[in-house]
Structure 1
């Protein structure tokens, strides 16, 4: 045993002293006396002159059978070689200080760690036969683990009081902008990680954390607390943010070039606390000024810094939400008098504020969901409670519905010259405001009323109306748009019904049918329309056609009853005012106005009294006054005193 071991011992010392000596390594690892072959012989051959555990200074915890004793003896022989080499050869060679100490340590470590890795690789028999079978023992390691334990106990723990300050000093110099050897620091700190590998019941980085990381974090907090105080005292807040951004980037790079990756989380938490969380109030103190002056770069830096903190964005989110609300209310206050009469101005103002802050959320806050929510909440606040709707959103809902009417009615000023694409875009913008309305039932009430007017007056685009209804349905569901869809369906049904009516009339050629006539049959309960309170008397020219339609409808739909809504009906009259030129005018009038004007065909004089008109058409005095005022205002009739 002693003869074989003496050769193996020489080879082990050679490897852990200078593993890069190619010729020596080839001689040991190849040929009939190969390294692994020597280990195998020492473990399996029946050798004489085998040392005892007492000879090796080892005290076994149990009795080993003869066939197992030689691997154990060899294990402790190798341990003695590692310990002796590190204690007697390596330790005396690393007695310097500061950076020189680090270089000496790192050079020796690189050779030693490579050497024990090679030894471990060719000690598979011991690792397999001894270590695995004794896996419950805390004192038995792989050969590499054994080598690491020897290095730690015989070297590092004896010089750690010099190693730690020297290592931290290099990192401080690096932070101060001096040139340092990052590879050296990486090698030293990696050695601490390896010294903890494979230790029973301990996580792999525990030794690294105990010997370096804890002190490093304390030093980091001390260093940056001083720097933060100095920079804030000597510089503006924007310059402070620029400096902290740079410092955070530097420290993240330092993790890659020097530290172990597990340090990054704790390091970043410490930096964020010192640079950002502890100075949050200061960081937020000027953000309103940055918003007022459109200082985009400062806003972006503030967001990026605060986003590093777990709850750092919440105060900024609240500031943004309140700002949106305040800004929106201020803009509505400016236009409140005109907006009462101009729904377009009101809605466009809402959209301008929303667009302004939507752009901010996209460009500065990178569509962060917290600020998307702030945009929604802030806009919801000023849309529903403002100078026009101080307590609820009813007025806002009404004006939005009127705006929809103006853009969907083809003959309106607001929709003039709008392409289909433009109209589609406006509908999409309407939906932005609609989603934020609290009182959507008020919107539905006014929208339905205006929608019914567009349909009855045939002032609508089927495609755009369908598109609008589908958008409302996406937001509020089927029940919300059921009546709107039913109203739309009634128009299609009425068109088919009028075709059948014309066919019915054509089948009775001798029938006096009167002027052209079409009816829109509306489903009771679906339309926001009520029968008139007065019993209006139709002009006889129209009355005959209405009676024919009722007869036709009863034949088509037995049991159904029609209630005529004359206050919503219209007609076209042709008239001549200038007899010499015989110029013909077409007047589009309401049915009530038609009843008034047709009375002039039955009177001898050019004038008719108000009393005669009221007695003839049975229109209530208030309604009659309104219709006469409209006719005189448009110079169709001339009012004179009796």
Structure 2
């Protein structure tokens, strides 16, 4: 006679007990009932009774698994866990308006959940080790519990939003000097980490809130305090943020948090700090303050900061600055430039910013631009400025090409009327690398591009043109009910706005389908048109972020005092991706330089010890680098068979011809 097994599992968390009842009917008709009762009652039982109950329950679980009933057991546990977790999280909806009390309730809910899942896992360990491991795509009991908690938390957006709001409020109170319960804070942040939602659910709004907080504080204190006091405050704030990362924030938050704090308290006020305090500190020989100034800016990428400072000074819009004053500023910056390490970082960021100034017509003075390049050439040599000078040659040559094009037969007979277009033809090696970005252009612009390409290739055979849409900018003539305007916009902004010639209202998806602009860039473009200072479009519903469900309307009520309005400031702003890409290119170039230097030295010496090779590399390389990074490049060259270790002494390298 075959054996029959049935199972009933109840995970009654709200009573804090796990009841496992297993009825085994064997051929001998022996009935066995195993009961694990209330955990609180169970904990009050004598030790031997506890031990007996646990032994019986664990034995029942292993018997069920051995009789191929593990799947049924797993499903019942999962169902009961889900029922309980859903009920517990739903019970938090509409709870206390006091955020601290609410967070304590959530923490209690989370701690109970963890304790209960650990008890279930302990009792059903055999299930985890057999059925779960042997069955594909089945989570461990602990991971199953986390997945259910994550699922039902996301199904309770009010609870999740209230948790995040409460955490951000607590941290802001702490920044303002109030004592808070860091234990609750730490437990709930660990909850998000365990659920795998920390970065998206908490870190993103936390960094945005941090940026807003320090932007406001920096603006207030830089005006109220002298430079010495301000730098002490910045130093204190950075120490506090490092401490937060140690005490309760996820370790991966440290880097973006410190970067955000430095950006708002230091980078945004670089020129003010230097203009307002540097000379005074030098004149008064305030050594401690100068040391603090150097330390803060040194860890904040001084080469990059100097490049950005120059971009600010050389960019159009610096009203009230004479040519003589600008020239004096450039001379003073050059003094600082002489002392920085990593001039390749300066070159990369300076080149990126110079490219935007030239291509978008944002340079305050071409004479000042050329003067700065002459100073850099005198300081670092022609090799340092070769690409920068090449960029100016391209701009001047492009003017000649455009004049020639306008007089050509192609332009006179084929160009569509009503459009004027100027093209910059750039030599790839001189300019920063730009990622290609697709966009579906209006028909008129496509025609213009095709005619220009035909003209250019007929004049310069063997060359290839590749359009960089992200760098294009236009002037659109717009008719609003309150008057006509000219809008200075980017090419992406142009493509979006021209859709509204044929429609009053478009959804985000409509615009995406019609333009083919990459998702992140399209959101950025729509933000600039509907959420910025100049709102040519209206977003429904209102808000700072562009969501998939949003719709956009042509703004009939738009009005502005000026006839020509600049909307394309978005193109001058550096994105996070741009900054990261520039930094990564410098790092990649350094790797090539290190490899070339190692091969050059070894080709000359043939045989060299590790110590002597490192010493020569430090003498030849013009940027700071750690010995451990040099060792990695040596290992890479050994793997690629440029070098080999001596068979008798691993500290000696041999060059392989």
Higher-Rg structure is 1
Higher strand share: 2
> Which band: TM-score by shorter chain?
0.3 to 0.5
TM-score, normalised relative to structure 1: 0.42
